[in-house]
Amino acid sequence: MNLISKSTFFVVATLALIALQSPRDLNAQDTAKPVFSSPTVDLGIVVGDMDASAKFYTEALGVTETKGFTATAEKATAFGLTDNRKAVIRVFVLGEGPGSTKLKLMSFPKAKPATPDQKFIHSTLGVSYLTLRVSDMDAAVERLKKAGVKLLGKTPASLGGDNYLTTVQDPDGNFIELIGPMKK
């Protein structure tokens, strides 16, 4: 049995969040009350080659690695996430502090997950891309080129005003868009 797909993982995670809310939390009269304890979303990405992906996210994108963890096969199975497989998770942060977004790169030793069609953003259902806001698009593009990452399309491309968009793919083909101003 293959690992669950990224789409299924996010559906399961969303359903788990909904299930954790009490019925009172879901009433329309309570919409003024915050439902979540944090506005930050952490994102889990299953990768084929952990070292190549870690290098891409740190060197090409500039995120910072922080303490990761391992979920035993028993725990990952009890959570309904694997079919008795251990998960190795390396954690990367954008920014500093408790409100920083975390990217959790996950690998599963001995598993051979299916690779979705990543030719275009519309090729596969589910989460299709990450958007990272950068403060200096010139510096971001220079870092990408130095890391040997191919820019997609005719990017960086103007979004109007001061913002530009640059699109790339990570080692597993996941789309990443960077948005920010040019500084040169």
User: Which CATH number does the domain housing residue 158 bear?
Assistant: 3.10.180.10
Domain-embedded: residue 117: no
SS3 call for 167: strand
Query: Among positive and negative, which fits the CA dihedral 137, 38, 26, 43?
Result: positive
CB 102 within 8 A of CB 130: no
Instruction: Please give the tally of structural domains in the chain.
Output: 2
Give the end-to-end CA distance of the chain in Å, rounded to a whole number: 51
42 lies in the same domain as 89: yes
- Segment 126-155, tens digit of pLDDT: 888 999 999 999 999 999 999 999 999 999
Supply the pLDDT for residue 127: 85
Task: Give me 21's structure tokens.
Answer: 């809310």
Give the separation between CA 143 and CA 173, rounded to whole angstroms: 19
103 lies in the same domain as 147: no
